[in-house]
Amino acid sequence: FFSHWSSMGIPVLIPWLLSRWPSVCQECALEALLTKERDIFVIDASSWQYAVCAGSVSPETDMLCGGQWSVVFDRVERFVQSFERMRCRLVFIFDSLRPQSKLERLAQRRHESGEGLWTLMDLFDGVDHRDSASRHNIISGANAIGPTVDFAGEVCLAALMALKDKYPQVELYTSKGDVEADVPLVHFCHSHKGRVAAILTNDNDFMLLPHGTSVARITGLNWERMLKKWPPRCSQVIDVEAIRSNIGGPVAVAVFAALVGNDYCQPYMSCLPEDRQTDRFQSFNVCFDLVTSHKVGTYREALDSICADPTTGADAEKLAAWSPEALEACEFFTAHDFADKGQWVPCPSHEPMPAGYVVIQPLKPRHLLGSPYAPAYDRLVDCMEYFKHTGPNVATPVPSAGYTWLLPMLKAQLRRLRAEAADEESEDSDADDYDWEDVEEDEEGEE
pLDDT digit string (tens) for 68-95? 677 788 889 999 999 988 889 999 998 8
pLDDT value of residue 228: 80
Beta bridge partners of residue 237, listed in sequence order: 26, 216
Total residue count of the chain as it appears in this document: 447
Strand 40-44 with 344-346, pairing: unpaired
Nearest-angstrom CA–CA distance, 175 and 349: 9
Predicted model pTM? 0.71
Confirm whether 85 is domain-assigned: yes
The model's confidence at residue 41, banded by pLDDT at 50, 70 and 90, is very high
Q: Which residues of 19-29 are buried (b: 16+ CB within 10 A; e: fewer)?
A: eebeebbeeee
Spatial neighbors of 49 by CB under 8 A, at least 6 apart, are: 152, 153, 156, 157
Residue 355 lies in a domain: no
Which residues touch 270 (CB under 8 Å, ≥6 apart)?
261, 277, 318, 322
444 vs 347, higher pLDDT: 347
> What pLDDT, on the 0 to 100 scale, is given for residue 386?
43
Minimum mean pLDDT range among 125-129, 282-286, 311-315, 353-357: 353-357
Answer yes or no: is pLDDT of 383 > 60. Answer: no
Q: Are strands 40-44 and 89-94 parallel, antiparallel or unpaired?
A: parallel
DSSP strands (E only) in 151-295? 170-175, 196-201, 215-217, 233-238
> Residue 346: its pLDDT value, please?
83
Distance from C-alpha of 174 to C-alpha of 137, rounded to nearest angstrom: 40
Distance between CA atoms of residues 388 and 443, nearest Å: 34
Do the beta carbons of residue 4 and residue 113 sit within 8 Å? Answer: yes
CB atoms under 10 Å from CB of 303, counted, come to: 24
Question: Are residues 60 and 150 located together in one domain of the fold?
Answer: yes
Confidence of residue 63 (pLDDT cuts 50, 70, 90): low
Model confidence band, residue 407 (pLDDT cutoffs 50, 70, 90): very low
Query: Is there a single domain that holds both residue 202 and residue 298?
Result: no
Q: What total of structural domains would you count in the chain?
A: 2
State the CATH number of the domain containing residue 68. Answer: 3.40.50.1010
Give the range among 200-204, 279-283, 354-358, 399-403 with minimum mean pLDDT: 399-403
Which of the listed residues 333, 356, 385 is the one where a domain comes to its end? 333
pLDDT at 47: 87
How far apart are alpha carbons 101 and 179 in whole angstroms? 10
> Which residue in 75, 14, 6 sits closest to 216, CA to CA?
14
Separation CA 165–CA 155 (nearest Å): 17
Residue 241's domain comprises 13-246+342-346
The stretch 385-391 carries a mean pLDDT of 44
Structural domain contains residue 434: no
Residue 218 counted as domain residue: yes
* Residue 158 CB neighbour total at 10 angstroms: 16
Q: Burial, 181: exposed, middle or buried (Cβ in 10 Å; 0-12, 13-18, 19+)? A: buried
Q: Are 133 and 160 part of one and the same domain?
A: yes
- Is 352 inside any structural domain? no
- Structure confidence at residue 2 (pLDDT): 29
Percentage, residues of the chain above pLDDT 90: 35
The verdict on 230 and 254 lying in the same domain is: no
Q: Quote the mean pLDDT of the chain.
A: 76
Q: pLDDT tier at 405 (50, 70, 90 boundaries)?
A: very low
Across 47-51, 76-80, 290-294, least confident range: 47-51
Residue 70, pLDDT score: 77
Please give the pLDDT value at position 406: 38
For Cα atoms 401, 51, 83, give the angle at the middle one, nearest 5 degrees: 125
Mean pLDDT calculated for residue range 226-239: 88
6 pLDDT band, cuts 50/70/90, is very low
Interior angle at CA 49, CA 44 and CA 50, nearest 5: 115
CA distances from 260 to 104, 107, 270, 300 (A): 19, 21, 10, 16
Between these two residues, 297 and 306, which has the higher pLDDT value?
306
Spatial separation of the C-alpha atoms in residues 166 and 178, rounded to whole Å: 32
Q: Flag whether pLDDT at 61 surpasses 60.
A: no
Domain's final residue, options 296, 314, 346: 346
Average pLDDT over residues 351-355: 60
- The burial class, CB within 10 Å (0-12 / 13-18 / 19+), for 57 is buried
Q: Are residues 115 and 209 in the same domain?
A: yes
Q: Which of 81-85, 357-361, 432-436 has the lowest mean pLDDT?
A: 432-436
Helices (H) and strands (E) in the chain, counts: 17, 10
Q: Where are the alpha helices (DSSP H) in 40-196?
A: 45-54, 69-84, 100-125, 132-145, 152-163, 182-191
- Same domain for 287 and 269: yes
In a domain, 354, yes or no: no
Same domain, 328 and 284: yes
Q: In this structure, are 70 and 129 located in the same domain? A: yes
Highest mean pLDDT range out of 47-56, 103-112, 183-192? 183-192
- 284 shares a domain with 235: no
Radius of gyration of the chain (CA): 25
Q: Higher-confidence residue: 364 or 195? A: 195
Q: Are 96 and 177 in contact (CB under 8 A)?
A: yes
User: Do residues 196 and 87 share a domain?
Assistant: yes
CB contact at 8 A, 402 and 135 = yes
In angstroms, the CA 397 to CA 270 distance is 48
287 and 236 both lie in a single domain: no
The answer to whether residue 288 sits within a structural domain is yes
Dump strand ranges (E) for 228-326: 233-238
Rounded to an integer, the average pLDDT of 345-363 is: 61
User: Which of 305, 321, 346 marks a domain boundary?
Assistant: 346
Evaluate whether 330 touches 255 at the Cβ level (below 8 Å): yes
Do residues 116 and 216 share a domain? yes
Residue 400 lies in a domain: no
* Least confident range of 57-66, 164-173, 239-248: 57-66
Give me the helix-helix angle, 316-333 and 250-260, nearest 10°: 130
What's the confidence (pLDDT) of residue 382? 56
Cα 80 to Cα 114: distance, rounded to the nearest angstrom: 32
Confidence of residue 323 (pLDDT cuts 50, 70, 90): very high
